[in-house]
Amino acid sequence: MALASLTTLSQSSLQDYADCPRRFQLRYVERLAYPAVESEPALENEQHQREGEFFHRLVQQYLVGIPSEQVSKLANTPNLQRWWENFSNAIDLLGFKNLTGLYPEATLSAPLGNFRLLAKYDLISVRENKTIIYDWKTYRKRPRNEWLAARMQTRVYRALLVHAGAHLNDGRPFEPEQIEMVYWFADFPNDPARFAYTSAQYERDWSTLLKLADEIQIALQRPQDGFPLTDDEARCLHCPYRSYCERGVYAGKADEAEAELEADESFNLDFEQIGEIAF
């Protein structure tokens, strides 16, 4: 594949690069199909992933104004019913009763070095004194806050909202201190993870992102040795490219690493459909 075809970076591709440059190369540069299942049991994991994606659609339907009673009829599996019930009970708590200032499924994009950085948000809620990024998670285990804080998603979503979200704030860029990111867990509804933001964090995040983009650009110019295999072989256990790297045949258990196996939604986004772009 021509190098020029890699024009976009996302939280998922940057996370892959940070975890294992070789995985980034196989997935985003060479765009290789997955030769191995990521986790066992494969079918159950696939079903859980599909239900998770459907749950996101149910919440989106509600947030664009479809009555809750109508949406609940679509929750037709035990997981979906439980998740929807937990979400319905949290609506007041999350402050969504009045649907004003909510931007579900918002996509933001901005230049990052020679690339564009792209992020698709489950929900951005703009209130008078606080703007909250919500992300719905259907994990079977509640990840630790320290782990979430270090994830590219937490860093990219907050930084990009500061960098490219002015159109959601009457044309004025958000102050980092106005922003908070909340992971709400459908199976742990009373234990969301909340991450505030500061100007110092924003400066650090944006310069880290620029540095990564520069590194990737340099690596693309010498792809034979620019994307080394990770030294941390534990990462290979759930990696679908194990057979390419001779790093094992059998997959690890899904619930041990499902947070690391999320699909990259922005991978297939069509730029023509993105309205909110910072230049």
Which parts of this chain interact with ligand SF4 (CB under 6 A)? 20, 22-23, 26, 229-230, 235-236, 239, 241-242, 245, 247
Q: Compute the least distance from the CB of residue 186 to ligand SF4, in Å.
A: 28
Q: Compute the least distance from the CB of residue 22 to ligand SF4, in Å.
A: 4
| Residue in the structure block whose two tokens are 């630790």 | 144
Q: Compute the least distance from the CB of residue 249 to ligand SF4, in Å.
A: 11
Q: Compute the least distance from the CB of residue 31 to ligand SF4, in Å.
A: 14
Nearer to ligand SF4 by Cβ, of 4 and 234: the residue is 234
Nearer to ligand SF4 by Cβ, of 177 and 260: the residue is 260
Residue 17: closest CA among 112, 134, 146: 112
Q: Are strands 131-137 and 179-185 parallel, antiparallel or unpaired?
A: parallel
Q: Which helix (H) or strand (E) holds 134?
A: strand 131-137
Say how far apart CA 32 and CA 29 lie, in whole Å.
Answer: 8
Nearer to ligand SF4 by Cβ, of 219 and 236: the residue is 236
Provide the CA 45 distance to its chain's centre, in angstroms.
18
Helical H segments across 64-114, by residue range: 68-72, 78-94
Say how far apart CA 253 and CA 251 lie, in whole Å.
Answer: 7
Q: Compute the least distance from the CB of residue 246 to ligand SF4, in Å.
A: 8
Q: Are strands 123-126 and 102-104 parallel, antiparallel or unpaired?
A: antiparallel
Nearer to ligand SF4 by Cβ, of 38 and 135: the residue is 38
Say how far apart CA 232 and CA 17 lie, in whole Å.
Answer: 13
Q: Compute the least distance from the CB of residue 225 to ligand SF4, in Å.
A: 14
Angle at the Cα of 145 from the Cα atoms of 34 and 201, rounded to 5 degrees: 95
Nearer to ligand SF4 by Cβ, of 36 and 182: the residue is 36
Q: Compute the least distance from the CB of residue 233 to ligand SF4, in Å.
A: 7
Nearer to ligand SF4 by Cβ, of 34 and 271: the residue is 34
Nearer to ligand SF4 by Cβ, of 22 and 137: the residue is 22
Q: For residue 93, give every residue at least 6 positions away whose Cβ sits within 8 Å of its Cβ, in sequence order, or none.
A: none
Strand, helix or coil for residue 188: strand
